[in-house]
């Protein structure tokens, strides 16, 4: 069997750093997402890199530095509807293509991210 973590299967730190860079290049150009973010993406990129590393079974970088992720709580100060969740996922899909993630492992990771993105939705009113 294959005992590697998803983190190892996609190529570890190098791949994740590339994925996160490409992902936020799309986010900062997306009209439904860009207004939510600060002009400087340095900090959010770093935190997302740390989070995804541990999410995929790599070192617990995020929790070591910032404590429990409590992702939904940390997103409550931003209005996130299904439109934003879809937008986030479409940016991630493009980034995965461009970072060269393929096959079953890519589908598995995307499925988990889709659940997480929908879990962040905190408003259902007409926007
Ligand atoms: C932080 C938006 C989904 C992981 C943020 C920030 C925004 C945001 C605006 C804060 C930027 C700042 O610091 O000013 C969104 C939107 C989503 C979404 C609109 C759509 C559903 C996700 C998902 C994940 C995630 C699915 C994880 C897979 C993170 C992490 C941070 C963050 C780790 C940093 C949290 C912290 O340490 O404060 N997000 N996000 N986000 N997001 Fe999301």
- For ligand 1, atom 20, name the residue with the nearest CA: 85
Interval 49-75: pLDDT, tens: 999 999 999 999 999 999 999 999 999
Nearest ligand 1 atom to the CA of 74 is 38
Question: Which conformational region is residue 11 in: left (phi greater than 0), alpha (psi within -120 to 50 degrees), or beta?
Answer: left
Q: 31 alpha carbon to ligand 1 midpoint, in Å?
A: 16
Q: Where are the domains of the chain?
A: 6-119
- For ligand 1, atom 23, name the residue with the nearest CA: 117
CATH code of the domain made up of 6-119: 1.10.490.10
Q: What would the DSSP string read from start to end of the chain?
A: -----HHHHTTHHHHHHHHHHHHHHHHTT-TTTGGGS-S--HHHHHHHHHHHHHHTTS--HHHHHH-S--HHHHHTTS---HHHHHHHHHHHHHHHHHTT--HHHHHHHHHHHHHHHHHT----S--
Per-residue pLDDT, averaged over 119-126, amounts to 89
Interval 27-41: pLDDT, tens: 999 999 999 999 999
> Is the ipTM beyond the 0.90 threshold?
yes
Q: 80 alpha carbon to ligand 1 midpoint, in Å?
A: 10
**Residue 31 vs residues 4, 18, 27, 57: alpha-carbon distances, Å:** 37, 22, 8, 32
Q: 2 alpha carbon to ligand 1 midpoint, in Å?
A: 31
Interval 81-115: pLDDT, tens: 999 999 999 999 999 999 999 999 999 999 999 99
């Amino acid at each position: 069997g294959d005992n590697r973590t998803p983190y190892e299967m996609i190529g570890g730190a190098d791949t994740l750093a590339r994925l996160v860079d490409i992902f936020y290049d799309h986010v900062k150009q997306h009209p439904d997402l860009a207004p939510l973010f600060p002009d400087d993406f340095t900090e959010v990129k770093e935190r997302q890199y740390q989070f995804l590393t541990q999410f995929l079974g790599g070192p617990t970088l995020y929790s070591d530095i910032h404590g429990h992720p409590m992702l939904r709580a940390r997103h409550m100060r931003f209005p996130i509807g299904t439109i934003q969740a879809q937008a986030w996922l479409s940016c991630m899909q493009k980034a995965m293509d461009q970072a060269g993630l393929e096959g079953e492992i890519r589908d598995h990771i995307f499925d988990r991210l889709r659940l997480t993105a929908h879990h962040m939705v905190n408003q259902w009113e007409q926007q």
